[in-house]
Chains A and B, each alone.
Chain A
């Protein structure tokens, strides 16, 4: 083995440890028994504990359901807003376009707490607090910058070359959209969908404030447990959270890779 390979392996191992160790701690926390100081590892592992929680813990299951429902709603709302916006930003020139494209990032620039307290105020005014629509609106607000960015990058890459070609060959504007623009945006849409899913799942403060406690998602429930020192149940939530975010991500990624290999 050459020195280069050894060096690279060491770097990879260090990074793997940095990422995997905290994950391992969470997994051990969720299934470990009698893990007290000064023990380095849990006294015993009860893998069944996690799965028993997953199938019997009503609170956990309702949180999972709430998280997934909100994420689903957010994905739909985000894509409905982000996709036309991205098309406008990528294909058209209009006055104030540069300013507009900067404004898309505002939700990430303005401090979250300032934004949220004011949004909560507005939501109360329009009696949207505690409603499903109100919560997905706030989630959408934080997802839009990522979704728009991913979609614009994808569209700009292709320019409107293929749309122009389609129109010249006789396609109507709608035919062009459904047969050309939409299929070619697939990588961008998949990226935006995944990012929206993750951002929505991780929203804590927004869900709590605007949701009025009606939507106790995984991240909302998890937080108090860690503060109260109930680490095992918090870890169960944590592992569930990781599974429902990582597994779809993995599936989508491998699907995309397979498509690329075809090409």
Chain B
């Protein structure tokens, strides 16, 4: 049996483990109070969905732009050439390139958090599948990272665009901010995420869609939210 640390044992006293919190703001306050890390901990949400991800039509995947961002600088690289290259630079991309960028990444450079590509670059970017794919960095039209509107994609990503997808056990994990955020800002971010998640409910799912929602910060106990709110 895993043993718990002192801080965790202290933190768990602050939360009622049996209660399902219906006041999001209150839940956020508790999460903030439980945080005892020396760094600015991230606040994360875990939502268990009533979907079977083994069926392709029940795969929940999407992205949401959080109104208050996630409090982290996102390093973006853009595969683009010509006009689009200029557009990307102006929009604040950290690195823009075409063949040179492909080569740089193929040589082992992976110092970025997100990759965006214009459709006309996909033939070249495709070659990086084995490098970017396993790290979840491969640009994909389905989540808006293969687009002609690179400026918007960069701005959204920088502003706090969070991608999520259901994992094997039917759970979505996503960050919604930092412990230093105000509780109301965290609550707004949370609501934005849940709104998108509900919109993505697959037509083929049966029974309850949102089975449980838990909010926690890095290394803290979880605070359970009343699922009937959704």
- Judge: A and B partners, yes or no: no
